Structure 1
Amino acid sequence: MNPKDAAELIRGRRAIFPKTYIPKPIPKAVIEEVLENANWAPTHKFTEPWRFRVFTGAALERLGDALAELYRAATPAEAFSEKKYDKNKQKPRQSGCVIAICMQRDAEERVPEWEEIAATACAVQNMWLTCTAHGIGSYWSSAKMLQESPGLLQLAPGERCLGLFFMGYHNLPELPGKRGPIAEKVVWMEE
């Protein structure tokens, strides 16, 4: 890949939300490529903290039902919204694949936890770029309810959920990027 193609891929990555996905299955080989590319993220001391739970097919319905019920259980009656309940239920059903993004803390704690979270975030960026290259929309949701209910994902000791990665084909036009000038974010230390 030449630098121009790499820049175009990076700058073309967007959050594409499940409500815009079309009903087209994502081939298992593509999902496996997404995960394999995630596995090549940078990792200090090779802790490779990223872990994934992949939901496809009927598991997407079960995930949607579980998310809706987690929302109901965590929300006081006076704050409950049927619209939010339905949104939690439908987002997985609108997706071709949902991947739970998890992080396994190094048992020896050889690196600070933030470094393992950052490594997992780098893995997700690799996933996002791979999806973009395949014309697959994707979106990383914090899924706070899952973070507070680890039983659904059967997390191992020291493992935690950092959110859900929704994936689906879409037919949206190319979306413009929104970034402020890099010059406002850099201080050059030349002397």
Structure 2
Amino acid sequence: MIRSLLFISALIASSVNSLAFTNPATLRRSVARFTDAPVDSTVVDAALEAAILAPNHFMSEPWRFYIPGPQTTASLCNLNPEKTKMFEKVPNWLVVTMKSENEKHSKLWLEDLSAVSCAVQNFMTSLAGEGVGSKWMTGALGSPPEAILGTVKAGEGEELVAAVWFGIPEKELEGAKAPPRKLGVAGTLTKLD
């Protein structure tokens, strides 16, 4: 009996080890073309839960998230008339701001900014794990941060960190080729004694 249980345990362990596991971080791609298919709200909720698990020194929780509805999305799309038609093809937006109590550019302010950036990456990686594409578009929107903050009615003292587009991509994420990195790991890693 014990031999049978040991055999079954070994068989299960062997099967689990042989299962293919895809790291969602390797699936994340910047996606600009989406289908009209809706993203399940539970996927978005789970991605937001993943976002707030970002490393956060002193647990300041500096991130603030805004998911605009149809009226606010239309206002965001009209902030840059030259890009309105392109923006209108984006099914979902997430605007992420930072609320830091620390002096701008101080060590703790930079840690808050890093935490919010990690939260954005967690959000996008979680979405990628569910086959949902995203693109961090902040600067490419061509709109002043103050205009975006005003459109989402961000709180006083909040600073824009990210405007993220997301939706079901026209092409599946799995198998999508990553853009080549010029330096790669070898060009950026220094191993020390």
TM-score range, shorter chain: 0.7 to 0.9
The answer to whether residue 178 in structure 2 is matched with residue 187 in structure 1 is no
Q: Which residue of 2 aligns with 1:16?
A: 31
Q: Which residue of 1 aligns with 2:7?
A: none
Q: Which residue of 2 aligns with 1:130?
A: 126
Distance, in Å, in 1 between the alignment partners of 2:159 and 2:110 is: 13
Shift, 1:22, TM fit: 0.3
Q: Which residue of 2 aligns with 1:48?
A: 61
Distance, in Å, in 2 between the alignment partners of 1:89 and 1:36 is: 32
Q: Which residue of 2 aligns with 1:154?
A: 153
The answer to whether residue 169 in structure 2 is matched with residue 170 in structure 1 is yes
Q: TM-score, normalised by structure 2?
A: 0.76
The answer to whether residue 24 in structure 2 is matched with residue 5 in structure 1 is no
Residue 145 of structure 1: which of 140, 143, 148 is its match? 143
Distance, in Å, in 2 between the alignment partners of 1:96 and 1:108 is: 36
- Unpaired stretches in structure 2, ≥5 consecutive residues: 1-15
Aligned length: 168
**For 1:88-126, what per-residue CA distance to the aligned partner results, in whole angstroms no more than 9, with x for missing partners?**
3542x3233211011111268895222111101100111
Contact 2:100-2:158 at 8 Å conserved across structures: yes
Q: TM-score, normalised by structure 1?
A: 0.76
**For 1:10-69, what per-residue CA distance to the aligned partner results, in whole angstroms no more than 9, with x for missing partners?**
22211111xx2000111222111111110111101001111011024x23xx4234442x
Contact 1:23-1:96 at 8 Å conserved across structures: yes
Q: Which residue of 2 aligns with 1:77?
A: none
Q: Work out which of the two has the higher radius of gyration on C-alpha atoms and give 1 or 2.
A: 2
- Unpaired stretches in structure 1, ≥5 consecutive residues: 73-84
Secondary structure of the structure 2 residue equivalent to 1:162: strand
| Letter paired with 1:16 | V
Q: Which residue of 1 aligns with 2:10?
A: none
Q: Which residue of 2 aligns with 1:63?
A: 73
Identity of aligned residues (%): 23
Secondary structure of the structure 2 residue equivalent to 1:185: coil
Runs of 4+ in 1 over 3 A off after TM superposition: 64-67, 107-111
Q: CA RMSD in A?
A: 2.5
Contact 1:67-1:145 at 8 Å conserved across structures: no
